[in-house]
Each structure stands twice: as C-alpha cells, then as structure tokens.
Amino acid sequence: MKITGYRCYLVTLPPRRVHNWASKMETPIGSHLLLRLETDEGLIGWGEAPAIATWGGAHMSYFGETPRTVHHMIADYLFPVIVGHSPLEIGPLHAAMDRVVKGHPYAKAAVDMALYDLAGQALGVPVYQLLGGAYRDRLPIAHSLGIMENRQAVAEAERAVAEGAGTIKAKTGLDPERDIELVRLLREALGPGVQIRVDANEGYRSVSEAVRVTRAMQSYDLAFTEQPVADVEALALIARQVAVPVMADESAWTPQDILHIHALQAAELISLYVTKPGGLFRAREVATVAEAVGLRCDIGGSIEMGVGNAANLHLGAATRIAELASVCPVSRPAEALEGQIAGVYYLDDIISEPFAYENGAVLVPQRPGLGVQVDERKLAKYAVAL
C-alpha cells in the first residue's frame, strides 16, 4: 500500500457555547484543519489539527499555528516527502518530515493521525494496538468550564456532574479574586465527592500571585493547579510553595521538556497531547520519558472534533500513566444530542456515529484504525474555503 493523494478541509463546527481560556479570549473553538490521506488500495485515513495562533510555549519556544499554516506545511513540505511511501513506515516518515520542516507539530500531527488510521485499517486493528496495547478501554472525562461568569459556571458544573462527570476543570488566570470565589462556589455546590482542578493557561502575572491564589484555593480541596504561569523555572518556585500538585501543559511538549521539568522538580503532572509533540508516534516518546521520571498525566487537547478526539482516546488507552480524568469530548453528531452537556462542546460533529459515554467516561473506539467514520455530508456542510 502506498500513499497517493491528500485533501485538506477547514472545518468549522457550531459550538454549544463560547469556550475561552486566559490565553485565548477571542478566537472561537472548532475551526480545525481536517486531512484526508488517500492510498492506492482505496483506504482513506483521517487526521485533524486543532491549531490555534495563540497556543505555544513560553518565550517563543513554540509558535502558534493556524489551520491555514497547517495546510501550507502539508501541501508544500510534508506531503511531498510521504507520497509514494507505505503508511506503515510511521517512524521513518516522521524522520523525513523532520528533515524538511523544523517544528510545526500540529501539521505533523495531522499527518501522523492519518498514517495511524491507515495502518490500523490495513492491519485490521485499533490504533491503540499499534501503540502497544490498551491499559484501559475508557477515559473518565474532566468537564471543562471556559472563562465565564461564576454563577453560569457553577450551574453548568452541576448539570455536568448530574450527567456523570466526576471531575470539573475550571479555567482561571484573568482575575485572581474571581478564581478563588469560583472554586469556593464549586465546592459548596458540588460537595466533597467531585474533583475540582484549575487551569490558568499561564495567566497569572507572577509567582507570588499564583502562590497566593493557589493557597487560597487549597482549603476547598483543590486537586491540582495547571500551568499557573508560563516559565518552567517559575513553575518550580510555585511547586515548592503550595500544597497541591502542579501540572505542566504549555511547558510540556517534547521529551526534552519532560527532562527539564523533572530536573527542576517543576511539576508532578503533565498534560500529554497527541498534537504538541507532533503526533501519536512522538507522544508515545513523551509518555515513556514521563513515566521513567515518575510523572503522571491526563490526555489534553484543544477541544478536538471526532477525528482528533479518537486519536486522543487511543493515546490515553495505550499510556499507562494516563490515570487522570481528561478533557476528551463526548463527540456526537447533532442527531445523537438530546440536551446533554457533560463533555459536549459542539452542537454537531463530522463523524457519523456518537462516541459511547458511560458513568462519566468516554469509551475508546474499537474498530480498526481510529475507529471513526467521517460523514461526507457533514463535511460538506461545515467545510469552508482554505
């Protein structure tokens, strides 16, 4: 089997509500690049890049991407080095992509997902088998509350918990006093049985501010704080002064980042992505290093559609240290929505069948490849010109 062609789509889904965080207060979610990778045997593989221009690392260590930059990279650089090759040669194809393009992990991740989708279909196995096998068949969801007014956030959290969510992730980082009050209100409304975590997305202005806010939240049984500031050295200072774990997200992209975090003792947890390291192949490398130095993780992302979400679930299934509830959406086409909100961020999707959701967890697809079928009618409906 050889790769013969591709097609890129810019897909914009209707959101259930506005979903913002401290470093992204204007760009809407759900405008992603979808990649269709074609072969001479008729198999089609799909990849997704939820690229956002404002998403990167501290001090320009990683640069923002957009769906259009991803399209440019695939068209002019990445596809020319994979065409004519077997999609089973995932490692060598990554090396080829790295030779022609430095960085641009979201573009490489879209290609990587499509390669794994093709490889799994060709071999008749789910992608998690290609990653070493499954430690679990489902991932508990962390229902994410974007930046919103506190009363609205509490009301949404109560609904999500009533639908089975056992973890609430509150976006913070713009207003310290609002953040403290939100955690207090959430704990008061949800009681002791629900895990509450916060994510400031590098939003706090200083180590001292982040420490003060986190210490105030601790009295409400806070599970952990995610990326309160941008710099890894600053994360380490915060970690020494608070009584809850620190999670690194924007600081944790590559195996080298994990080694740096470990050397500084900057975090006990990381958010592991398919996209940040450049795909499933590289994400497994990050996970291996994280496990070797004793870190645990969730599976993070940028509110993917069904294709990217499937890749996240396969990664979570095959990663032993992915023990934490994750913001993996409960992806559903409009026909399968009946007012649910737990893990639901869009009013429709481009996949033909909904992901299964049971007792606060989204189930990992079991069919070969990524295990999802793209609905061509929905693709035509939501695709816009690149």
Cα–Cα distance, 243 to 369 (Å, whole number): 42
Comparing C-alpha atoms, which of 118, 223, 112, 164 is closest to residue 343? Answer: 164
Asked whether the beta carbons of 35 and 111 are under 8 A apart, the reply is yes
Tokens of 329: 């959406």
Domains (ranges, CATH) in the chain?
Answer: 3-124+375-384 (3.30.390.10), 129-363 (3.20.20.120)
What is the pLDDT averaged over residues 48-57? 92
Cα–Cα distance, 275 to 272 (Å, whole number): 9
Count of beta carbons in the 10 Å neighbourhood of residue 339: 7
Predicted local distance difference test score (pLDDT) of residue 79? 98
Q: Which one-letter DSSP state was computed for residue 309?
A: H
pLDDT at 23 over 90: no
Cα–Cα distance, 129 to 369 (Å, whole number): 9
pLDDT at 30 over 90: no
pLDDT at 376 over 80: yes
Rounded to 5°, the CA angle 98-104-108 comes to 65
Residue 322 CA from chain centroid, whole number: 13
pLDDT at 28 over 90: no
Q: pLDDT-derived band of residue 61, with 50, 70 and 90 as boundaries?
A: confident
DSSP, collapsed to helix, strand or coil, labels residue 37 as strand
Predicted local distance difference test score (pLDDT) of residue 59? 86
DSSP, collapsed to helix, strand or coil, labels residue 326 as strand
What pLDDT, in 10s, does the model give residues 171-180?
A: 999 999 999 9
The whole-chain average pLDDT of the chain stands at: 96
Cα–Cα distance, 66 to 342 (Å, whole number): 28
The residue behind tokens 């599976």 is 299
What pLDDT, in 10s, does the model give residues 310-357?
A: 999 999 999 999 999 999 999 999 999 999 999 999 999 999 999 999
What is the pLDDT averaged over residues 77-87? 98
First-residue to last-residue Cα distance in the chain? 29
Rounded to 5°, the CA angle 252-68-107 comes to 40
Q: pLDDT-derived band of residue 212, with 50, 70 and 90 as boundaries?
A: very high
pLDDT at 385 over 80: no
Predicted local distance difference test score (pLDDT) of residue 66? 95
Count of beta carbons in the 10 Å neighbourhood of residue 222: 23
pLDDT at 25 over 80: no
- The pLDDT > 90 percentage for the chain reads 93
Predicted local distance difference test score (pLDDT) of residue 348? 98
What is the pLDDT averaged over residues 16-28? 82
Predicted local distance difference test score (pLDDT) of residue 124? 98
What is the pLDDT averaged over residues 182-195? 98
Predicted local distance difference test score (pLDDT) of residue 367? 98
pLDDT at 167 over 80: yes
Q: pLDDT-derived band of residue 27, with 50, 70 and 90 as boundaries?
A: confident
